Structure 1
Amino acid sequence: MFSIYILTYNEELDIAPCIESAMLSDDIIVVDSCSSDRTVEIASRYPVRVVQHAFESHGRQRTWMLESILPKYGWVYILEADERMTPELFAECTQSIGNPDYIGYYVAERVMFMNRWIRYSTQYPRYQMRLFRHGKVWFTDYGHTEREVCDGATSFLKETYPHYTCSKGLSRWIEKHNRYSTDEAKETVHQLENGTVVWRDLFFGKTEVERRRALKDLSLRLPARPFLRFLYMYFLLGGCLDGRAGMAWCTLQAFYEYLILLKVWEMQYLPTPTLEETLSQSDKSKVVATQIAGEG
């Protein structure tokens, strides 16, 4: 048996089916980032532990969770609220944790969008570190998401998990990716100034994870990134085979890339106000407010 952590923030629409899919385990821990909706109320109806912790970043939230909330079992699985555990994946997990050669396993997602599995344009199979021995894996921030640091050998599972990326509607997706694009822009600026492309991993990487990360490092340095991303996803990866949903998915991803690019330009070329200028502007606002109040 292994424990399952579920990460949430305003997930009242997804939290119940997510927990129910995970109840094959008898140790489920919901780690909520101080939701303002009914997430905690709904989660509390189930035989699970619910812990709240203010969100700082994806990497820090996972690290805090692993260090502060001890699981019942030595192996853990990280599940997000818009994802589901399947009986087939659970069975493979329970079998795999008995192998002493590995301390963690990567699991591939199946992106579900517009009631369809986006098979081609999502670089399937795209793997994430999800199942691991507690105390042997931790996380650092990278862009809007995180990257794992592993103390030992890792492997890959055959079973996959469904990821309902737009289960709360397109408006929520756009809102999230507007926030994500700011973090990705910051990471892009940092990588352009300090990072490099590992060409060996790009062409001869041992795993999909190594090749994908090298490809991302290269993509940060390419011109016309939004246009190239659309061409890469829709034609080279075969997103055209995903039908109408594939066209919509590739268009949204190109828009997301363009938003990152615009924010990179903004960070590089628009002056950032100093603390004195910010305070000065605040004082001016107070004066204007006082004058308006006096006229009233």
Structure 2
Amino acid sequence: MDRIPVTAIVLTRNEAENLPACLDSLARFAEVVVVDSDSTDGTAAVARDHGARVVRFVWNRAYPKKKQWSLDELDLLHDWVMFVDADERVTPALADELAALFAAGPMSLAYFVRARPVVMGRVLRFGAGFRKIALLNRRRCRYPVCDDLGVATMWEVEGHYQPTVDGQIGSLRQPMLHDDRKPLYQWFERHNRYSDWEVWLDGQERRLPVYRAETRARRLAKRVFARLPCRPLLVFLAVYIARLGVLDGGPGLHYALSRAFYYWQVDYKRRWTDAERKAGRDPDLAYSSSDSSSVASPASALISSNARRRTFSSGMR
């Protein structure tokens, strides 16, 4: 079997539960590297048992974060890299598309890859899905430096933004699967942190590096969307009705509700932040404090401080 001339990089921290299925799906890649952050659940051993090379990562609480560090510092067999989260699976159809792409020669320097969530054991076909730049030429792409080091609940992996690409960006047709096997409380914990990050970046200067990596049309769409009233309701209607998530049955309903819940978190925290400023208090102290008991943060109202100190999942969803 001809190998796909791409290095697959999996970023991990306590991902022993998700990792076997992920690595099994990467069998056709010429090289698989697991960049692990001192996992305590046997993640590194699982990776080695599946034939992956394991590299230790220790974050110094500065930039570059984990993705860019991997692009800069690792001795890789190939300049073409595909980032795959431990809770993602490369489908056989996507592997075939990648093999055909590199047999013909890539025409772009990076590629968007779509993903379909698996909810309650069912691959969602309609209302769900997202895309990100996961396949890239590491010599021509770079993740921007974002002013988010002050957010205590964010961590060592870059947030929800795309790398800047020095050239054309393409799109792959076949999707990955996003199938997180961890307990649901970790989904809520993770998205609680993400919503903290979204609110922290509300200041225009903080968002500039993230905006530079996007098209003008997408920047405008995000600014308009951020100001829409009743965003949680609109998101639910878009996912469940307009995009036919209703046809995915119960899992489709839960997915639509989870998307709406996330935007409710963001909107509620924004209004809480505005109220703090009007009261003469500095809301940034809430997001920069690692001790939720010492600051009246909206995050502490949504999840227990003990849960926030548990191991985080590597997947940024």
TM-score (ref. length: structure 2) = 0.73
Q: 1:91 aligns with which of 96, 104, 120?
A: 96
C-alpha spacing 1:162/1:211, structure 2 compared with 1 (3 Å): farther
Q: What is the count of residue pairs matched by the alignment? A: 263
Map of 1:185-264 to 2, 5 A cutoff? Answer: 185-187=199-201, 189-191=202-204, 214-264=220-270
**74 and 240 in structure 1: CA distance in 2 versus 1, 3 angstrom threshold:** same
Give the direction of change, closer, same or farther, for the CA distance of 1:274–1:177 in structure 2 (3 Å limit).
closer
Letter in 1 for 2:126: Y
Residue 7 in structure 1 maps to residue 49 in structure 2: no
Larger radius of gyration: 1
Indicate if the aligned counterparts of 1:78 and 1:130 stay in contact, CA closer than 8 A: yes
Counterparts of residues 273-288 of structure 1 (less than 5 Å): none
Q: Counterpart in 2 of 1:201?
A: none
Higher relative contact order (CA 8 A, sep 6+): 2
Runs of 4+, deviation exceeding 6 Å: 192-195
Whether 1:151 aligns to 2:157 is: no
1:77 is the counterpart of 2:82: yes
Aligned residues with identical type, % of pairs: 29
Question: Which of 118, 127, 142 lines up with 1:121 in the alignment?
Answer: 127
Question: Which blocks of at least 5 consecutive residues in structure 2 are unaligned?
Answer: 149-158, 295-317
Distance 1:213 1:136, change over 3 A: same
Could you tell me how far 1:89 is from its partner in structure 2?
1.5
Q: Distance in 2 between matches of 1:41 and 1:6?
A: 14
- Measured in 2, the distance between the counterparts of 1:153 and 1:212 equals 16
- With 87-96 and 246-255 compared, the bigger mean Cα shift is at 87-96
Secondary structure in 1 aligned to 2:135?
A: strand
Q: Which amino acid aligns with 1:38?
A: G
Which one-letter code corresponds to 1:155 in the other structure?
G
Which structure has more helix as a fraction of its residues?
1
Conserved 8 A contact 1:62-1:138: no
Residue-by-residue CA offset, 1:223-245 (whole Å, 9 max, x unaligned)? 22212221222222222222111
The residue matched to 1:35 in structure 2 has which SS? coil
- Give the whole-Å Cα distance in 2 for the aligned partners of 1:109 and 1:9: 21
Q: Who is 1:68 aligned against?
A: 73
- Length-normalised TM-score, structure 1: 0.78
Task: Give the distance between the partners of 1:107 and 1:274, measured in 2 at CA.
Answer: 34
Label 1:58 to 1:260 Cα distance change in 2 as closer, same or farther (>3 A): farther
Question: Does the Cα contact within 8 Å between 1:4 and 1:27 map onto a contact in 2?
Answer: yes
Q: Displacement of 1:169 after TM fit?
A: 2.1
Aligned residue identity for 1:176: R
